[in-house]
Chain A
Amino acid sequence: MKQKRKKIDYSKWGYIFILPFFVSFFIFSLIPLVDTIRYSFYEYYRSGLKEIGPNFIGMANYASLLKSDMLKYAGNTLILWLIGFVPQIVIALLLASWFVDARLKIRGQQFFKVVIYLPNLIMASAFAMLFFTLFSNKGPINSILLSLGITENPIDFMGTVFGTRTLVGVMNFLMWFGNTTIMLMAAIMGISPDIFEASEIDGCNSVQRFFCITLPLIRPILAYTLITSIIGGLQMFDVPQILTNGQGSPDRTSTTLIMFLNNHLKSKNYGMAGALSVYLFIVSGILCFIVYRITNDEDPDGSKAAAKKNKKGRR
């Protein structure tokens, strides 16, 4: 008896403390998730105030989605995401390695960190509204260009495919590069300074140091950034929606997958929207899996093992 008592089990407290999360996850995420999948096999929408369905129609929603322009919108989403992501990761890497470089001794670091993070604090829709006003035909940007004599006629930024996509990309870039920079800075600061010192003694220049030491060692964080950014990119909605007034204009070239989903929800078409969500779910699952495999499975230069050792050593 006494022996048993000595071993006090605290694990129930652990379960109690994580219970709220699982309960709310179950109610607000899992049930809607299962419902979404269930309704994707039904014809279920509203016409005016009349409700039609739910009638079971099997895979018809999936089939008609494949016949629609869904792939075009997937392409749009990918392009819009890339336009924002490529400069974002490049600039963020550059800034992060500058900020943590002990030799550069950049002054006012805190100030810059705050400033580059600021755009992320603005609501995406407000940011899009701001750009919409700035770049409208009679907006301030056009006024400046006209008065400087750079153009004769106002440039119709949002009337062209290139202009609209670039604006969306720039907005996504501006909103997220600060966030990425700070994350990467944390990653670089996690690298032991010994390695940098050793490399310098060996006569390593800054370019070599960046590509041979910093980059391989922050790969887990880079992978994390990539995954979250892909998921965020798949969900891209508010910026193009507001910028194009929900039309995805011109010629639906800036219609993202979620805007496509939203078009179906205008008629409360839960069946079709559900089917689209399931497609998105599968795609994001596959993407996550691929990225995970690429970044984590192989360990060609032994950096992973080194990181592990490093971790162990610190413990």
Chain B
Amino acid sequence: MKKKVVSILLLAAMAASSLTGCGGSNSDSQTSNTSNVGSDSQSSDAVNTDSQPEEGQVINIYSFNDELRTRITAVYSEIESTSEDGTESILKDGSVIRWIINPNQDGVYQDKLDEALNGQLTAAADNKVDIFAAELDYVVKYIDADIDAAMTLESLGINPETDLADQFEFTKTVACDQNGVQRASTWQACPGVLVYRRDIAKEVFGTDDPEEIGKKTKDWAAMKTTAEELKASGYYTFSSYADTFRLYNNSMANAWVAPGETTIKVDQKILDWVTDSKEWKDAGYFDPTVKGQWNSDWFTAMSSSSKVFAFLFPAWGIDTQMVPNWDGEEGSWAVTNAPLSYNWGGTFILAAEGTDNPQHVKDIILALTADTDNLTKISKDYADFTNAKSVMQAAAEDDSFTSDFLGGQNPYTYFTPGADTIKMAPLSAYDQGCVELVQNAFGDYLQDQIDYDKAKENFEIAIRERYPEITEIQWPE
């Protein structure tokens, strides 16, 4: 009998320890992080105080893809060489930039970054975060004045009024904390356009002229007629309902969560997206095999075998998503105006509070986001829409900015007017979760798996799991 009791206990212990194993990975990473703190933490505290900053040897840059690295290595003239695996760059003065890249998916990047920022005060000088990237969806989380994770640009010695005068106004507004102090800067603005296949346009409409096509896509009503024509010829207008989401999301009147509140107010525009998408999907204007974005089906929809006519993308989307996924002839795409002007994304760079390299950080931020020569170079080399009004105005009329991928078209003639009319939807720290979860929940509805009310319910469940502090979810009448 005793044996039996013991063996049951052992079994229970086995079960218990294996169950805790899942949560365990978290504590593991924590311990490994604290071990990084290392021996010379005392000396770092001295460097940390803002009186006489002595520049450290290692600049740690946290980012979620290699976009930031390629941009900085392209424009920051101090960089002498970059190691082959892309993890380290050596500067002319001997200091080293360490590139720490974690993917955005599933919150991995933010987890690692939060962990590092939380340990910032105690970390050794060489392990402190110096610069980090944040996407528009979650930049609000990091520029919060109460958290004080990002330095104000002024304390770095950058005056937003004069140094960043050429930037688009909306990119500066969204980078300000609740007191109106700017804490982040970006080299890109992301006005979206409609990118369409020239061969399909020729076949269906008899022309691939961006101006002619632009008339067919100027608003939702015209877009619908166009979609009907495309359908008659066996083509899909867009790949999926997720493609149009940003247009609706960006025209929201209020933030998902108002500052200081814990109530999610779902905007009418989001429900409009659901009803319109349902209508479009049932009418057969979307490719039924594509579900959402960032999956292989979506990427295949950008290839030559696909029957999808158009994608809605800002400049970065063309360069980073369409170019690598297109396998047909060069010059098969063209851009024109989208049914609604919108902004999608944008990578901001922030100086981490407690950095031991304020001078380098300042230089990098200025070189990447304020220097018009550098921004021109980025626009030319990477077809990025850069955050400099004068450069972009000039680019719209300058034929040297034409793109081979777009068949010799100059896309800036469509980007630039779009950027001027952008009105950013108000942001909140909950945007990323809301955007992701609302698309998931209603994705099931749009695929006829569940009914409308169930989708609402699923969204409420999911959002409460993600953000326990949310007390209420309000739907428009």
Contacts and interface: CB of A to CB of B under 8 A. Distances in A.
Scoring A267, A269, A280 by chain B CB atoms within 10 A of each residue's CB, the highest score goes to: A267
Contacts of A154: 289
Interface stretch (A104-112, A166-174, A247-255): A247-255
Nearest to B147: A49
A56 interface: no
B238 to A, nearest CB: 16
A258 B22 contact: yes
B74 interface: no
Interface stretch (A29-37, A95-103, A183-191): A29-37
A70 B390 CA distance: 56
A288 B7 CA distance: 11
A137 B297 contact: yes
A262 B429 CA distance: 21
Contact of A32 (B11, B23, B141, B449): B23
B458 A288 contact: no
B144 interface: yes
A133 B297 CA distance: 9
Interface in B132-150: 141-142, 144, 146-147, 149
B244 interface: no
A235 B22 contact: yes
B24 A32 contact: yes
B89 to A, nearest CB: 28
> Which of A49, A136, A153, A280 has the most C-beta atoms of chain B within 10 angstroms of its own C-beta?
A49
A154 B469 CA distance: 42
A203 to B, nearest CB: 39
B32 interface: no
A196 interface: no
B225 to A, nearest CB: 26
B20 A32 contact: yes
B267 interface: no
A52 to B, nearest CB: 7
B440 interface: yes
A234 interface: yes
Interface in B255-305: 288-291, 295-297, 300
B461 interface: yes
B444 A249 contact: yes
B440 A249 contact: yes
B93 interface: no
Contact of A235 (B7, B8, B18, B447): B18
B20 A36 contact: yes
B320 to A, nearest CB: 20
B140 to A, nearest CB: 9
B161 interface: no
Contacts of B232: none
Given A68-B461, A139-B296, A235-B18, A265 B449 contact: no
B144 A292 contact: no
Contacts of A266: 107, 465-466
Interface in B447-477: 447, 449-450, 454, 458, 461-462, 465-469
A29 B17 contact: yes
Nearest to B106: A246
Nearest to B451: A251
A58 interface: no
Interface string A273-298: 10001001100110011001000100
Which of B16, B114, B443 has its CB near the most chain A CB atoms (within 10 A)? B16
A156 B20 contact: no
B52 interface: no
Nearest to B25: A265
Nearest to B436: A247
B15 interface: yes
Interface in B10-45: 11-12, 14-24, 26-27
Contact of A33 (B16, B106, B297): B16
B118 interface: yes
Nearest to B300: A138
A41 interface: no
B469 A159 contact: no
A263 interface: yes
Contacts of A247: 440
Contact of B147 (A33, A50, A284): A50
B96 interface: no
A48 B24 contact: no
Contacts of B449: 159-161, 249-251
A260 B288 CA distance: 29
B117 interface: yes
Contacts of B461: 68-69, 252
Contacts of A289: 8
B19 A281 contact: yes
Nearest to B299: A138
A49 B468 contact: no
A260 to B, nearest CB: 8
Contact of A49 (B118, B467, B469): B118
A33 B461 CA distance: 27
Contacts of A48: 141, 144, 147, 429
A91 to B, nearest CB: 25
A276 B7 CA distance: 25
A261 interface: yes
Contacts of A139: 296
A67 B343 CA distance: 40
A78 interface: no
Given A137-B291, A138-B297, A235-B22, A52 B469 contact: yes
Given A69-B461, A267-B466, A292 B11 contact: yes
A129 B297 CA distance: 14
B11 A288 contact: yes
A221 to B, nearest CB: 15
28 contacts: A33-B16, A33-B17, A45-B468, A46-B114, A47-B469, A49-B147, A50-B147, A137-B291, A138-B300, A159-B291, A159-B449, A231-B19, A235-B22, A250-B444, A250-B447, A251-B449, A251-B458, A252-B458, A263-B465, A264-B468, A265-B23, A267-B465, A281-B19, A284-B12, A285-B12, A285-B15, A288-B15, A292-B11
Interface of B: 4, 7-8, 11-12, 14-24, 26-27, 106-107, 114, 117-118, 141-142, 144, 146-147, 149, 288-291, 295-297, 300, 429, 440, 443-444, 447, 449-450, 454, 458, 461-462, 465-469
Given A137-B297, A235-B18, 18 more contacts: A33-B16, A36-B23, A48-B141, A48-B144, A161-B449, A227-B11, A247-B440, A249-B443, A249-B449, A251-B450, A251-B458, A266-B465, A277-B19, A277-B20, A280-B19, A281-B19, A285-B15, A288-B12
The 7 closest A-B pairs by CB, nearest first: A137-B289, A250-B449, A284-B15, A263-B465, A29-B17, A48-B141, A288-B11
